[in-house]
Amino acid sequence: NAGVTQTPKFQVLKTGQSMTLQCAQDMNHEYMSWYRQDPGMGLRLIHYSVGAGITDQGEVPNGYNVSRSTTEDFPLRLLSAAPSQTSVYFCASSYSSWAGETQYFGPGTRLLVL
Amino acid sequence: GQQLNQSPQSMFIQEGEDVSMNCTSSSIFNTWLWYKQDPGEGPVLLIALYKAGELTSNGRLTAQFGITRKDSFLNISASIPSDVGIYFCAGSGVWNFGNEKLTFGTGTRLTIIP
C-alpha cells in the first residue's frame, strides 16, 4: 500500500493564480481531511469528508474548495491564491471520523504564494 | 474555538536524557492524541488516550490523560537520535453532528545535542 500520497511536493504561485493540490489514499478510508501547518501554530483543519459525495468545512475554509467524487481522491483547490495561503498542506485519511481513529498523513505540499 | 497550549515550545537535550512535555486545554476533551512529525514528513500517531486518568506506554514513550480531562503529558525515556522531531498533542471534542474535530497543539521541537 502506498498509504496517503500528495502531489506536488512543492509549488510556487503568483497571487491570483489557482491550483489544485492532489491527495489520494489506497486504504479504502471513508474519512479524509485537509490541514494547513503554519510556523508556531498547530495543524488547522480546512475541509473534511466523511465519504464520497460528502464534504464539510473545517476551521479555516475560506479560499479553498474541495470535492470527493471517489473514496480514494480528495483534491483541494485554491481559487485565487493569496500570500496568506503560503503554508504546508497535509492531507490525512482514517477509517472513520472518530477522533480516536488513527489518522494517516501524507508527506505534505509546501506552497509559496508570491 | 478550543485552544491547546503545548509546552515547552522547544527542547535541547543530550542523548540518554528523559523528556517531558505537556498540553493544556481551555475545555474538556474526550480523546487525547500524541503525534510525532519528522522533518519533511507528515505527523505519525504515537499514542491515543481515551479516558481520564489513563496511562499508556508505547516503548520508551508514556502518555497520560489528565484527570480533569483538560490536560495530557508525554514522557520519553532515555532519548535517542531518532527521537528528534516535532511532537504534537491533539484533543477532540464532539463537533458538528457528531463528527469529532481534532484540535492540535503548537508543537514541541525536540533537538538532541551531540
For residue B73, give the DSSP letter. E
pLDDT tens by residue, chain A, 114 residues = 789 999 999 999 999 999 999 999 999 999 999 999 998 888 999 999 999 999 999 989 999 999 999 999 999 999 999 999 999 999 999 998 777 788 899 999 999 999
Tell which of B31, B54, B99 to mutate to test the A interface (max A CBs under 10 Å).
B99
Output the pLDDT for position B99.
57
Question: B5 in helix, strand or coil?
Answer: strand
Q: What is the mean pLDDT of residues B93-101?
A: 59
Q: Does A102 touch chain B (CB under 8 A)?
A: yes
Triad B109, B36, B13: Cα angle to 5°: 35
Dihedral angle over CA of B42, A27, A1, A100, nearest 10: 40
User: Strand B10-14 to strand B108-113: parallel, antiparallel, or no bridges (unpaired)?
Assistant: parallel
Q: Do A59 and B99 touch (CB under 8 A)?
A: no
Whether the per-residue pLDDT at B94 is higher than 70: the answer is: no
Set of cell numbers at residue A28: 479504502
For residue A83, give the DSSP letter. G
Output the pLDDT for position B75.
98
Whether the per-residue pLDDT at B98 is higher than 60: the answer is: no
Q: Scanning every residue of chain B, which has its alpha carbon at the shortest distance from the alpha carbon of A105? A: B42
Set of cell numbers at residue A76: 483541494
Model pLDDT for residues B19-63, shown as the tens digit of each residue: 999 999 988 888 999 999 998 899 999 999 999 999 999 999 999
**φ and ψ at residue A83, rounded to 5 degrees:** -55, -30
Asked if residues A68 and A51 have their Cβ atoms less than 8 Å apart, the reply is yes
